[in-house]
Amino acid sequence: MSDRAVVVGAGLAALRGAEAMREAGFSGPLTIVGAEPYRPYDRPPLSKHVLAGEIQADATTLPSSLGADVDWRLGSPVTRLDRESRTLHRADGGTLLYDRLLIATGTRARAWPNPHEGRLSGVFTLRGRDDAAALRAALAAGPRRVLVIGAGFIGCEVASLCRQLGLPATLVEPGPTPLGRVLGSAVGAFIGAMLEGRGVDLRSGSEVEWLEGEGGRFVRAHLTDGTRIDADVAVIALGAVRNTEWLDGSGLSADPGGVDCDAAGFVLDTEGQPDPRIAAAGDVARFPHPLYGGRRVALEHWSHAVMQGTHAGQLLAGAKPASPYAALPTFWSTQGDVVVKSAGLTEGADAVAFTQGEPGSGRFIAVYGRAGRCIAAVSVDSARWLPAHAELVAAGAPFPPQGAAADRPSRGIMVLAPGFP
Amino acid sequence: MPDATLLDQVKDFANRADPYPIYAKLRKNPVSRQDDGTESGTWVAATHGTIASLLQDPRVSSETLPPADRPRTGNPLTDLIVKPLKDWMMDRHRVFIFRDPPDHDVLRASVMHQFSRARIQAMRTRSERLVADLLDEKRDAREIDAVDDLAYPLPVTVICELFGVPREDEPKFHGWATQLATALEPDSLSDTEIRAANSRTFDAIGGYMADLIKEKRRHPQDDMLSGLANEATPEGAKMGDYDLVATSILMLVAGHETTVNLITNGLLTLLRHPDELERLRQDPGRAPRLIEELLRYEPPVQFRTRKTLSSIDIAGVTIPEGADLVLLLASGNRDAAMFPDPDRFDPDRTGTRHLGFGGSLHYCVGAPLARFEAEAALTALARRLKAPRLIEDPPPYRSGAALRGPEHLRVAIDGIV
């Protein structure tokens, strides 16, 4: 009998998973189900080159080694999983049977809490290809001002990009600094200064109370402190929500934080037992990370989607995975002309040390420590030093890093409280 | 007298023609201490992984030159006042291959800004013309010396034209460049005679360059030296005169002493692999991949030296603080963990990450130029030499172990088409 394999999701992790299955020798029927009508595409360029107008949103399709022997079912999401009959139900009423299943449904942008305001023309989120194309069109129309709500990575990228395009931009963030949740306010303060230096109107410690429309068009935002900001475009950048609702009732251990996996990559049921027919990968997969004491994490990183997708594909094909399921997490973010890169997880850090460059100049390395060990490193416009620091993190080297090195800050290594909320 | 270490054998001129078996022995320990009579010793990194890691480690410094110490003249005024001042100025204006960030970055950025795409493209076309002319001159010959007839004059002319050095002054540079290139050989750092000769040479070429820079300020031309002397980078960086003199000397020396080896090693390798020579003759489109493989297989710069600023734990050993480091690039290029069947010359390798141009922040500034020049030279040699045969194998080598290549490469031919 020839096993049927189904991949639910059609993003980067899904594609790499399907390719790995084929490369590992799985030759049975292979179906890929996607909610959007597109073949897998690359997301990082959406908030950068596509918004800048350098490439079209449809130029982001990922290259693939998959052949014609793949059944693409695009444009309708899976709404329910029945593990007993090994059946997937789709929104368009169709069903699919599986013997091996890869869950890679990823995340979606968190919507503006007031749906009526969120539907105003001129209000955008940024997650998919269509989102990027629509927002690009709005930016190209020359708005009076762009309001970005939320100073996470996407929010900071959009705000810096608007400045590069010469558009006035206001960035509203309830926390004390941009990127505070991921990088802490000590590093976030330097990022904030850099954004302000590039002309972003940064409103830290502020919250948007409501979005005002006129004739169905967004015209201004009202902050909780009474301030009004006139703008034609609002970008809601409040983070991502994991797509796990379709797993309700499946008996799998899943919630808005992801679907749980064991250390090998198989998903767990609510009893904690792995289902050997189902693996998960990418943003949606929550797994115990060996480098972080087995803490369960779900990582929204590009390189992670590649590695974990490949691993899960090999696993489902019955091959011994050559790709790690849990490597050192890394990501990057391009904010205007500045590249921020990171290795490791900053969560739980009790101190941060500025070890290279000059923090005040917007070019530096920050190393995060926990209980005297290096757990993460972040580079701002100095990516060349990151690999060396990634090795310190992977080795759990003593924190703060000691001794002389090139490009140390002129006043020596500065150690601060990281300032996580 | 301690036994000759493997590093001593690398430096030994007797092994110049084929140092690769020694590298293979060194790779048995990814990083090894080589006794050099000092307490810390010299540490050699010989595998791809350890070299790549150390190249990007901020605890590894390129500031390896000992403090300047010009020879005394016997004239008290000179020795007590002028000499310390000159030494001090020299130390503060080292060329950027011997400097660390952040200073390094400012100097390198100025050069990269002038190394524009348009300039490099123009030099590509120019290289093809120069190669054609040089080979035309030997049209009736039945023997050529690939070094004197092509591999040396081509890059020299290219770098002089790029910088705007008058062609008639070029012969002066020949001796200066050869002398200053010894600064990349490890023993020159401790040899007082070589250091004294380098100081004198630096003064001579420095005086020449200072005059030329003045001229470029008065009458700017469309060349890199005029650009460096008169224009700032978009970030506003502009070199002072001491840095400008040092940097232009570096570029001219690099242009004289490295690409020559790439071209000569290239022709030598092709003559040893006649099937590859024939394939290149039939398909010049193979040149780019062939040149990448050459940069792996016979790189012009075999190793670079560094110093540790702190102790470093790597590959099971601890390199102490203040130790001399040798990053054996040419050995990393023969590491089977990165390149299957590493001693085989195979231009069809895919995904090679060779260390032929170094790596990380000191990655060769002139890499695109070197690639174009080698492509122009090797494709023309393959196409135009009739029945080329090596007269001596191995050929005689130049003295350098770091900058390694044949002194002459005599090739018998039936003519040049």
ipTM of model over 0.90:
no
- Please provide the size of chain B in residues: 417
Please indicate whether, in this complex, the C-beta atoms of A406 and B101 are within 8 angstroms of each other. Answer: yes
Q: Give a yes or no: residue A38 inside a domain.
A: yes
Contact A407 B101 (CB under 8 A): yes
Q: Categorize the per-residue pLDDT at B2 as very low, low, confident or very high, splitting at 50, 70 and 90.
A: low
Residue A328 lies in a domain: no
Whole-angstrom distance, CA of residue B410 vs CA of residue B389 = 9
Encode pLDDT of A268-294 as tens digits.
999 999 999 999 999 999 999 988 888
CATH of the domain at A119: 3.50.50.60
A94 and A124 in a single domain? The answer is: no
Q: Read off the CATH number of the domain in which A367 is found.
A: 3.30.390.30
Contacts of B81 (CB under 8 A, 6+ apart): none
Q: Are residue A272 and residue A310 in the same domain, yes or no?
A: yes
Residue A326 lies in a domain: no
Among residues A188, A221, A238, the one where a domain terminates is: A238
The pair of structure tokens assigned to A260 is: 């749980």
Does residue B5 sit in helix, strand or coil?
A: coil
Would you state the structure tokens that stand for residue A336, as one six-digit string?
A: 């205007």
Residue A304, pLDDT score: 93
Asked if residue A324 belongs to a domain, the reply is no
Write the burial class of residue B314 (CB in 10 Å: 0-12 exposed, 13-18 middle, 19+ buried).
middle
Tens of pLDDT, residue by residue over B100-136, are 998 899 899 999 999 999 999 999 999 999 999 999 9
**3-state SS, residue A143:** coil
Phi (first) and psi of residue A351, to 5 degrees? -160, 155
C-alpha–C-alpha distance, residues A99 and B88, integer Å: 75
Check CB contact of A387 with chain B, cutoff 8 Å.
yes
Superfamily of segment(s) B6-63+86-412: Cytochrome P450 (1.10.630.10)
CB B160 within 8 A of CB B167: yes
CB of B268 within 8 A of CB of B16? no
The 3-state DSSP composition of chain A as helix, strand, coil percent (nearest 5) reads: 25, 35, 40
- Cα(B168)–Cα(B148) distance, integer angstroms: 17
CA distance B184 to B201: 15
Per this entry, what is the length of chain A?
421
A120 and A209, same domain (yes or no): yes
Domain that holds residue A159: 115-238
Same domain for A403 and A348: yes
Of B263, B304, B227, give the one whose Cα is nearest residue B144: B263
Chain A residues near residue B62 by CB distance under 8 angstroms:
406
Pairing relationship of beta strands A95-97 and A87-90 according to DSSP bridges: antiparallel
Contact call for B58 and A357, based on CB within 8 A: no
Q: Which residues of A153-187 are buried (b: 16+ CB within 10 A; e: fewer)?
A: bbbbbbbbbbbbeebbbbbbbbbebbbbbbbbbbb
Task: Give the residues of chain A that fall short of pLDDT 70.
Answer: 1-2
Contact state of B102 with A407 under an 8 Å Cβ cutoff: yes
* Residue partners of B300: CB distance under 8 A and separation at least 6: B258, B259, B260, B261, B262, B265, B356, B370, B403, B404, B405
Please give the Cα distance from A189 to A195 (Å, whole number): 10
Q: How many domains does chain A have?
A: 3
**B379, B284 Cβ separation under 8 angstroms:** yes
pLDDT of residue A2: 63
In-domain check, residue A53: yes
- Region of A166 (left: φ > 0; alpha: ψ -120 to 50; beta: rest) is left
- Considering the domain architecture, whether residues A97 and A138 belong to the same structural domain is answered as no
Closest by Cβ to B58, choosing from A358, A395, A407: A407
Distance from CA of B46 to the nearest CA of A (A): 18
Query: What is the structure's pLDDT at B178?
Result: 85
Is there a domain that residue A88 lies in?
A: yes
Mean pLDDT value of segment B49-74? 90
| A29 vs A72: CA distance, rounded Å | 11
Residues A65 and A131 in one domain: no
B397-B402-B404 Cα angle (round to 5): 25
| A280 is a domain residue | yes
The residue written with tokens 């790439």 in the block is: B262
Note the Cα B389 to chain centre separation in Å: 27
B37 pLDDT more than 90: no
Question: What are the residues whose beta carbons fall under 8 Å from the beta carbon of B360, sequence distance 6 or more?
Answer: A384, B55, B56
Collect all residues with Cβ–Cβ distance below 8 Å to A358 and sequence separation of at least 6.
A364, A409, A410, B102
Q: Which of A205, A238, A271 is the last residue of a domain?
A: A238
Whether A76 and A120 share a structural domain: no
Q: Is A25 exposed, middle or buried (0-12, 13-18, 19+ CB in 10 A)?
A: exposed
> How far is Cα B191 from Cα B171, in angstroms, rounded to an integer?
27
Query: Is residue A165 a part of any domain in this protein?
Result: yes
Domain shared by A98 and A32, yes or no: yes
Instruction: Output phi, psi for A232, to 5 deg.
Output: -100, -20
Cis peptide upstream of residue B368 (ω within 30 degrees of 0): no
Residue % of chain B over a pLDDT of 70: 100
Q: Is residue B1's pLDDT more than 70?
A: no
Could you say which of A388, A395, A402 has the minimum Cβ distance to residue B58?
A: A388
- Going from N- to C-terminal start, the domains of chain B cover 6-63+86-412
| Helices vs strands, H then E, count in chain A | 8, 29
Q: How far apart are CA A328 and CA A289, in angstroms?
A: 9
Identity of the residue in B53, B58, B313 whose CB atom sits nearest the CB atom of A406: B58
The answer to whether A402 faces chain B, any CB pair under 8 Å, is yes
Q: Please indicate, yes or no, whether residues A104 and A248 belong to a single structural domain of this protein.
A: yes
Please name the residues in contact with B256: beta carbons below 8 A apart, sequence gap of 6 or more. Answer: B155, B156, B159, B173, B174, B177, B178, B181
